[in-house]
Amino acid sequence: MEITEKEVLKNIQKAKEGKQSAFNFLLDYFWNQVYGFQLKRINNEHDAEDITIETFSKAFDRIETFDEKYQFGTWLVAISKNIQIDKTRKKNASIYSHTTDASDEHVRKIPDQNPSPEDKLITEQNLAELLRYIKQLKPHYQDIINLRYFQEMSYNEISDHLEEPLSNVKVRLLRAKKLLAEIITQNRSH
């Protein structure tokens, strides 16, 4: 099914109202565009993925500032480009810092109370089968799933444990759940 510009704008509006499903939609729909852009720029999968996560984190924190006269994908790519430039400058200056200018108030706008379709799919799996699927994820996604679902840490505890900003943790977990749900769905259809 083709996704229309109207549907994208509708989800941006819902995201501005704090709807979790809209954040999921935007992450899913624009992930490949931002990730692909970064992969071409820096030619490193891990760094491209980290920058993409930071991009969505920053964009979701500031979603209410997005002007709908512009393309959302272009806005994301601009944020992504700026993050990458900043990282390169810091790297070149030999200064590495895990900071984000996301305020706690904005980060809390991405709620984590209601189970998403991915959460429901994940919890329906038997444990041995689920562990096999989790092992198919990249290690940093395995870690965040483990911390959230097996060690039952809150987002704040995960943020402290990983020494990463809360907004990055939320986006990384969103992405990990989506990838895990795709693996589960693929294996169900075989």
CATH of residue 128's domain is: 1.10.10.10
Is 94 or 28 the better-scoring residue by pLDDT? 28
Q: What is the pLDDT of residues 163-179, one digit of tens each?
A: 988 888 989 998 998 89
Say if residue 85 is in the same domain as residue 158.
no
According to the model, what pLDDT value does residue 95 have?
45
Amino acid symbol at 40: K
Tally of domains within the chain: 2
Q: Identify which has the larger pLDDT, 125 or 36.
A: 36
Could you say which of 64, 92, 120 is where a domain stops? 92
Provide Rg for the chain, Cα atoms. Answer: 17
Report yes or no on 97 lying in a domain: no
**Statement: residue 4 has pLDDT above 70:** yes
Q: Is the pLDDT of residue 185 over 60?
A: yes
88 and 121 both lie in a single domain:
no
Considering the domain architecture, whether residues 84 and 143 belong to the same structural domain is answered as no
Name the residue among 162, 185, 189 with its Cα closest to residue 173. 162
Mean local confidence (pLDDT), 6-15: 93
Q: What is the pLDDT of residue 167?
A: 86
First to last CA, the chain: 22
**Containing structural domain, residue 173:** 112-189
pLDDT tens for 112-141 read 556 666 766 666 667 778 888 899 999 999
Alpha-helical runs (H) found in 43-189: 45-61, 72-92, 104-107, 117-124, 127-134, 139-145, 155-162, 166-189
Q: Check whether residue 138 and residue 175 sit in a common domain.
A: yes
In this structure, are 79 and 137 located in the same domain?
no
User: Does position 28 have pLDDT exceeding 70, yes or no?
Assistant: yes
> Which comes out higher in pLDDT, residue 190 or 109?
190
CA angle 159, 165, 168 (to 5 degrees): 95
Please give the structure tokens belonging to residue 25.
């939609």
Q: Which of 59, 92, 125 is the last residue of a domain?
A: 92
- AA letter at 81: K
- Say if residue 83 is in the same domain as residue 159: no
**Using one digit for the tens of pLDDT, what is the confidence trace for 75-122?**
999 999 999 998 888 877 754 444 444 444 454 555 555 666 676 666
Residue found under tokens 């994208």: 8
Q: Are residues 86 and 119 in the same domain?
A: no
- Residue 150: pLDDT band with limits 50, 70, 90: confident
Predicted confidence (pLDDT) per residue in 61-77, tens digit: 999 999 988 899 999 99
Q: Are residues 75 and 123 in the same domain?
A: no
Residues 71 and 125 in one domain: no
Q: Which residues contact 161 (CB under 8 A, 6 or more apart)?
A: 147, 153
